[in-house]
Structure 1
Amino acid sequence: MSSGWRFAFSRRWLGYLAFAIVFAIACGCLSAWQLARSKEAAAANAVISANFNSTPVPLSSELPALGSFEPKQEWTRVTVTGTYERDKELLVRNRPFNGGPGFEVLTPLRTASGALFIVDRGWVPTGNSEDAPDSVPAAPAGQVTVVARLKPSEPGIPGRTASGRQVGTIQLSVVKERLGGSDVYTGAYGLLDTQKPAPATAPTLTVTDPPTQDEGLHWSYMIQWIIFALIGFFGLGYALLTEYRKRNEDDPEEQARAAERLRKRALRRTDADVEDDLLDATR
């Protein structure tokens, strides 16, 4: 006797359906996350395109307060005139560049307002005999006009410590403490682009070309998660249909449908399939 589809409403199959729905929701969330990441990458690329080679603007107009900074300002070129506080220079440890270990040189620039703007003058390699550079090219003395690209304060890294005139990251709140709590720009610092007068020797600039603008494979991953969700429902439907056919294999109507499926499958057989059957038979 045919049991029809009544089995599909059993606790077991309802559990399978619930699992498929939960799996689809999880895939949907992951797909939405990839879409959000794609939008973030596109927004970051737009900021680079708009700001990296922008016309320099005065620092005071771009950062009206010491803590001012918005993500859309990253890479903006600013110009500021002041005097380097060379005796307050700091080194950022563990900064690789072109495959080599080294330090980045942070030199505070005393602006006309009296505040200190942190300028990352570039990179120097680790020395031969100690955990410090062999030498650091001196910043220009006297008044200097700097063009720099704004970068946000970096977060701290757990476990990364430094002492003396070194810091673990360019976390501007920590830099401010190391400088004795003076008036310091803590929203952003500047990656050096140019300065006048230019010194005879200087650290190697860490950024001279725009970062690679790559949005990654987020769109591809987003579509893949949607496909995975659909595959889950397809698999559930296939398993349901398979069990239906097995439970109803004695039903005349189902037997007729099974015979029709076999007939259509035979019509789709190719010469290669026939040859394979002959070879199997002779083994």
Structure 2
Amino acid sequence: MPPDAPVLPARRALAPRYWGAHLLMLVAVLACVLLGRWQLGVWHDHRSDNSAAVTRETPVPLDDVLGKDAAFPASGVGRPVVVQGRWDPGDTVYVADRTQGGRTGFWVVTPVTTASGSAIPVVRGWVTSATDTGVANPRGPASLVGLLQPSEDTGAPDNDTHDDVIPEMSVTDLLPRASYDLYSGYVVATDRALPSGGTQVTGMAGLAPVTVEHLPGADASTALRNLLYALQWWIFGAFAIFMWWRWLQEDVLGRRPSPGPR
């Protein structure tokens, strides 16, 4: 170009002597973003662990948490309870559209009649097909530790009330199928040992274990410091961008603000 031709702002800003400053800004912003995401992940992990802490409590008898005619207590979500009674294989049902390991299948649910005379639905495990003949329904005594869950009553329609498949794990949907009273919740079977040391009869043989879907929310203050650290790092990143932009405008491009009137 001619010697007296004006230098375009973009070309001036991208002159080799400024590359180091641009690179420093990019590294600083990237570091702030990554550190903020790391702290946010720590916050999320701590809250998830806090929610799941209830599942690691010592199991207690079912009726100590949920009476046969009682409404489901908020404190019962995810609680480990001891379920003892007798299996009722004739009332086994399958809950549709349950995802496990990226595949869609069914929960296998068999009620256990307890000494109270009422029955608690037990999610024994997961299968790919409701017609899987390789899974036998348990008979006789039941004795297991399960995680207590509230009934799923979203109102999903049951298009065929005469088959063994239901759209959700709803005690309301199970009532017309049962000849006995039902508890207001259900349990997800686990392979945890009984506190008494007795023999387990979990009904889980041949089935993939199920992970509970409902857990209590974490305390509001759980890992709050990590969330604030994440916000702090992102503010630092925004400040780095601001300082770089101001340096670019004033020192590189010479666009200093005009002084105000005196």
TM-score class, shorter: 0.5 to 0.7
SS at match of 1:154: coil
CA distance in 1, matches of 2:52, 2:204: 30
Q: 2:65 aligns with which of 51, 62, 65?
A: 62
SS at match of 2:97: coil
Decide whether aligned partners of structure 1 residues 103 and 203 sit closer, same or farther in structure 2, where only a CA change above 3 A counts: same
2:187 alignment partner in structure 1? 190
1:138 alignment partner in structure 2? 136
Aligned residues: 180
How does 1:42-53 map onto structure 2 within 5 Å?
Answer: 46-49=50-53, 51-53=54-56
2:127 alignment partner in structure 1? 124
2:111 alignment partner in structure 1? 108
SS at match of 2:135: coil
SS at match of 2:98: coil
1:31 alignment partner in structure 2? none
2:146 alignment partner in structure 1? 148
Decide whether aligned partners of structure 1 residues 94 and 160 sit closer, same or farther in structure 2, where only a CA change above 3 A counts: farther
SS at match of 2:63: helix
The alpha-carbon deviation at position 67 of structure 1 amounts to 3.4
1:79 alignment partner in structure 2? 82
CA distance in 2, matches of 1:66, 1:47: 27
Q: 1:273 aligns with which of 234, 253, 260?
A: 253
How does 1:4-19 map onto structure 2 within 5 Å?
Answer: none
- One-letter identity of the residue aligned with 1:110: T
Q: What's the RMSD between the two structures over aligned residues? A: 3.8
Q: Tell whether 2:165 aligns with 1:166.
A: yes
- One-letter identity of the residue aligned with 2:253: D
TM-score with structure 2 setting the length: 0.58
How does 1:230-249 map onto structure 2 within 5 Å?
Answer: none
TM-score with structure 1 setting the length: 0.54
Q: Tell whether 2:92 aligns with 1:89.
A: yes
1:205 alignment partner in structure 2? 209
Q: Could you tell me which runs of 5 or more consecutive residues in structure 1 were left unpaired when the two chains were aligned.
A: 1-41, 127-131, 224-267, 276-283
CA distance in 2, matches of 1:146, 1:152: 18
CA distance in 2, matches of 1:103, 1:44: 25
- One-letter identity of the residue aligned with 1:207: T
Greater share of residues in helix: 1
CA distance in 1, matches of 2:48, 2:250: 54
Decide whether aligned partners of structure 1 residues 170 and 200 sit closer, same or farther in structure 2, where only a CA change above 3 A counts: closer
CA distance in 2, matches of 1:158, 1:199: 27
CA distance in 2, matches of 1:153, 1:77: 16
